[in-house]
Structure 1
Amino acid sequence: MKKTKYFIISSLALFLFSSCSDSFLEEDYTEAGYIIIDDNAIKTKQDLAKSIRGLYSTLASTSGFGGDYLNYQELTADLAFVSQRNSGYFVGTNGGTHITVDGGAGGPIWNTFYNTIANANFILSYQGKIEDVSDPDLPALDILFTHAKVIRAFNYLSLLTLFSPNYGEGDQSLGVPYTTTYDINAKLPRESVDKVINNVIADLENSLTIGISYLGNNNSFNTDAVKLLLARAYLYKKDYAKAQQYSEEVLAGGDLLSRTGVATFFSTENSETSSEVLFQLEYSKLDPSTQDFGQYWGTGGESTGYKQNFMARNFWSKFTGDARSSSWYGNTAAVQAYPDQVKPIDVRKFINAYRDVILLRRTEAIFIKAECQYHANPVTAFATLRSWIRTYRAPAYNQNLTGTAVLDEILNQKGFEFFMEGLRFSDLKRNNKAIVKYQTAENGQPLTTIPVGDRRFIWPIPYSEMQLNPNIKQAPGY
């Protein structure tokens, strides 16, 4: 009897790696759904290349990096503002009630990331089974397979930041289930945090040895993107020397976004040629209705949508004289019309409905470097941060901070720079900072406070996984 497998393709189309080739690097959009394939589905290098493109498409799911992961990194943290005029979506984040076992925000993210991991493992099961025939339009097989490993590592690293304790803290047996084998029937237990992060690092470092730069487009992973992921991974592991090493290699690889470039950075579609952008999801050829962010965040973008999520005013007001204050955010007439007693601040990163969704930017390396330096010498860390601020964002910046105030400023500047880019909750969690929302209730008190050590810093395993998998252990307190 012939065995069949189901290779799950995202509801979004396959992504464009390059717009100037006849090969698999050209546009190739495929209908959504389940593609039934047998054990010999990937027979040639061309089949493998097409499968890698399909794997990239899974990253754009609105339950993953194309939506929920970025949404909830921001909404779970302290800087976001959900207006009284809303659709009902995301309102639970005002009280932290979205972090639940049954029906919580974590379920779709968990399922989406493990779907991508399963697809990556399926592709990798063909290593050693395909002939590496010469093709001028395709790289070596090892390079193609490396893309699957990097995508898998990216998903595992992101799962750790939500569903596991910080490295070296709490119960270290509560990593996430980890496998490199395709088996849809597996009932996997959690692996240790150490095992998961070490395997993530090994896959990423191996990709640099094999090579991943052939595709040469920031709609796929490249050398600098992988190095930034390694800087993130080593920062998570508290190996500050290695994290700083990789961050400095990223900084040496190209120019940072300039102060004059801030104004048009999110409003134009030229990011494929930007040195600042290391990896992004290609949306410029897709229906804007598939883009989740412009419908909820800010008042710009496409005309449809709920337009309910913003930045808190009392955080934004810290950044007077900053190039970002009126370019990426704004005290616009549109937000003044909202019914909230304290008006929100508009978010203008999604005013172009066709804008690619940026997941990795070179400037992040500055903040990783500064955070690493902080643990050795806060004075050095602040010198790094202040130099960047004065050169690239606010020439008149005149703060002079010491001690723990340096880390707070690193995190605040990073929060302002990367608002809605998928980092804030993870940054606060990693540094054991309480979440005290800037948005306030009518009595002037923070709308939500999540103290350090609260169970909500480790998201629960979703109800569906607990029901189907008898081998997995729930997070404490749920």
Structure 2
Amino acid sequence: LTADPNTPFANNYGNSESIFSLENSATNNPSVNGALASQYLGRSLIAISPIIWNNPSWLATDKRRGTNLVTVKSGVYYTNKYKDTSTLSDASPLLRYSEVLLNRAEAKARLDDATYLVDLNAVRNRSLNNPSTEQYSLFATKAAAVNAILTERRIEFLAEGLRWNTIHRLQQDDVAPMSGIPAKYKNGAAPVAADYKIGTPYVIKSGDVTAIPYSDYRYVWPIPTLETSANPTLAAQQNPGY
């Protein structure tokens, strides 16, 4: 791990923590319509959700809330992980060593191996103001430990594209189960600055995106039209509901 959680993004081609990233450059990038720096920062199309921003496990003094990694526009918070809004050359992170540690921490917790705490705190502590008093101690139950690790993943990998895979992985899990897709903060409109309250859990309200249960046909996406148009047999086997 790097000592500072910002280093993998301030120096994303030359740090010790980034294991596998997708290269971009000034002449070879997804353009303003797809580059991470453009979507998250330059055009401010994707804000940090108040659901995770307000999570009490994300301490107010955590360095991952600092200006190196977060920018504020009109009271709304956006990730500053992808910093090059001019030439869009930021590498897209696919695997960092912090994920290796949190993967191992979760596996250990599920096996009732108390050394999970070493890996969890290794990632968490570098971002804390006072690790000696703010670090985690052993949790009373396996479920509590796994859920704390999953929350740490959401904080650590904010805007790195890992949340969706985690949602799918945990469907009907035996320790930290999820059922379907959780409710989300509203889409398609400017976020409300007053909804950002550190330490006060956000409550889903009218206008937000409602949850989709695991039994709902929308949980499984349709087979693309490009495929069904070319294959009548496949078209007849389209997923239910579509």
Normalising by structure 2, what TM-score?
0.70
Query: Are 1:378 and 1:403, in contact at CA under 8 Å, matched by a contact in 2?
Result: no
Query: Are 2:183 and 2:204, in contact at CA under 8 Å, matched by a contact in 1?
Result: no
* Counterparts of 1:328 and 1:310, CA distance in 2: 13
**SS at 1:297 equivalent:** helix
Quote the offset at 1:456 in angstroms. Answer: 3.5
Quote the offset at 1:403 in angstroms. Answer: 3.0
Determine which of 282, 296, 300 is the counterpart of 2:23: 282
In the TM superposition, what are the counterparts of 1:84-163 in structure 2 within 5 Å? none
**In structure 1, what is the equivalent of residue 199 of structure 2?**
none
**In structure 2, what is the equivalent of residue 419 of structure 1?**
158
Q: Which runs of 5+ in 2 are unaligned?
A: 172-177, 193-202
**SS at 2:124 equivalent:** helix
* Counterparts of 1:354 and 1:413, CA distance in 2: 28
Query: Are 2:110 and 2:142, in contact at CA under 8 Å, matched by a contact in 1?
Result: no
**In structure 2, what is the equivalent of residue 321 of structure 1?**
61
Query: Are 1:328 and 1:349, in contact at CA under 8 Å, matched by a contact in 2?
Result: yes
Quote the offset at 1:458 in angstroms. Answer: 2.7
Residues 428, 471 of structure 1: alpha-carbon distance in 2 compared, 3 angstrom cutoff: same
**In structure 2, what is the equivalent of residue 456 of structure 1?**
218
> CA offsets per residue over residues 393-424 of structure 1, 9 Å max, x none?
22243445333222222222112211222211
* Counterparts of 1:317 and 1:382, CA distance in 2: 24
**In structure 1, what is the equivalent of residue 116 of structure 2?**
381
Amino acid at match of 1:272: Y
Query: Are 1:315 and 1:438, in contact at CA under 8 Å, matched by a contact in 2?
Result: no
* Counterparts of 1:455 and 1:374, CA distance in 2: 33
Count of aligned residue pairs for this structure pair: 203
Query: Are 2:124 and 2:135, in contact at CA under 8 Å, matched by a contact in 1?
Result: no
* Counterparts of 1:454 and 1:345, CA distance in 2: 32
Quote the offset at 1:378 in angstroms. Answer: 6.7
Q: Which runs of 5+ in 1 are unaligned?
A: 1-255, 337-343
CA RMSD of aligned residues (A): 2.9
* Counterparts of 1:315 and 1:389, CA distance in 2: 16
**In structure 2, what is the equivalent of residue 436 of structure 1?**
182
Quote the offset at 1:431 in angstroms. Answer: 0.9
In the TM superposition, what are the counterparts of 1:66-81 in structure 2 within 5 Å? none
Amino acid at match of 2:211: T
Amino acid at match of 2:23: E
Whichever of the two has the greater Rg, that structure is: 1
Quote the offset at 1:365 in angstroms. Answer: 0.7
Quote the offset at 1:348 in angstroms. Answer: 0.8
Query: Are 1:436 and 1:450, in contact at CA under 8 Å, matched by a contact in 2?
Result: yes
* Counterparts of 1:311 and 1:386, CA distance in 2: 24
**In structure 2, what is the equivalent of residue 475 of structure 1?**
239
**In structure 2, what is the equivalent of residue 409 of structure 1?**
148
In the TM superposition, what are the counterparts of 1:2-401 in structure 2 within 5 Å? 256-258=1-3, 260=4, 262-266=5-9, 268=10, 270-286=11-27, 290=31, 292=34, 293-298=36-41, 301=42, 305=43, 307-318=44-55, 319=58, 320-326=60-66, 327-330=68-71, 332=72, 334-336=73-75, 344-352=76-84, 353-377=88-112, 379-390=114-125, 392-394=126-128, 395=131, 396-400=133-137, 401=139
> CA offsets per residue over residues 160-218 of structure 1, 9 Å max, x none?
xxxxxxxxxxxxxxxxxxxxxxxxxxxxxxxxxxxxxxxxxxxxxxxxxxxxxxxxxxx
**In structure 1, what is the equivalent of residue 174 of structure 2?**
none
* Counterparts of 1:456 and 1:346, CA distance in 2: 29
Residues 444, 458 of structure 1: alpha-carbon distance in 2 compared, 3 angstrom cutoff: closer
* Counterparts of 1:444 and 1:372, CA distance in 2: 31
Residues 379, 449 of structure 1: alpha-carbon distance in 2 compared, 3 angstrom cutoff: farther
Query: Are 1:310 and 1:347, in contact at CA under 8 Å, matched by a contact in 2?
Result: yes
* Counterparts of 1:455 and 1:383, CA distance in 2: 41
* Counterparts of 1:417 and 1:329, CA distance in 2: 13
Quote the offset at 1:440 in angstroms. Answer: 5.6
**SS at 2:107 equivalent:** helix
Residues 444, 317 of structure 1: alpha-carbon distance in 2 compared, 3 angstrom cutoff: closer
Identity score, percent: 26
Amino acid at match of 2:167: L
**SS at 1:449 equivalent:** coil
Residues 439, 382 of structure 1: alpha-carbon distance in 2 compared, 3 angstrom cutoff: farther
* Counterparts of 2:30 and 2:119, CA distance in 1: 41
* Counterparts of 2:109 and 2:186, CA distance in 1: 31
Normalising by structure 1, what TM-score?
0.38
Quote the offset at 1:272 in angstroms. Answer: 2.7
* Counterparts of 1:453 and 1:414, CA distance in 2: 26
Query: Are 1:378 and 1:406, in contact at CA under 8 Å, matched by a contact in 2?
Result: no
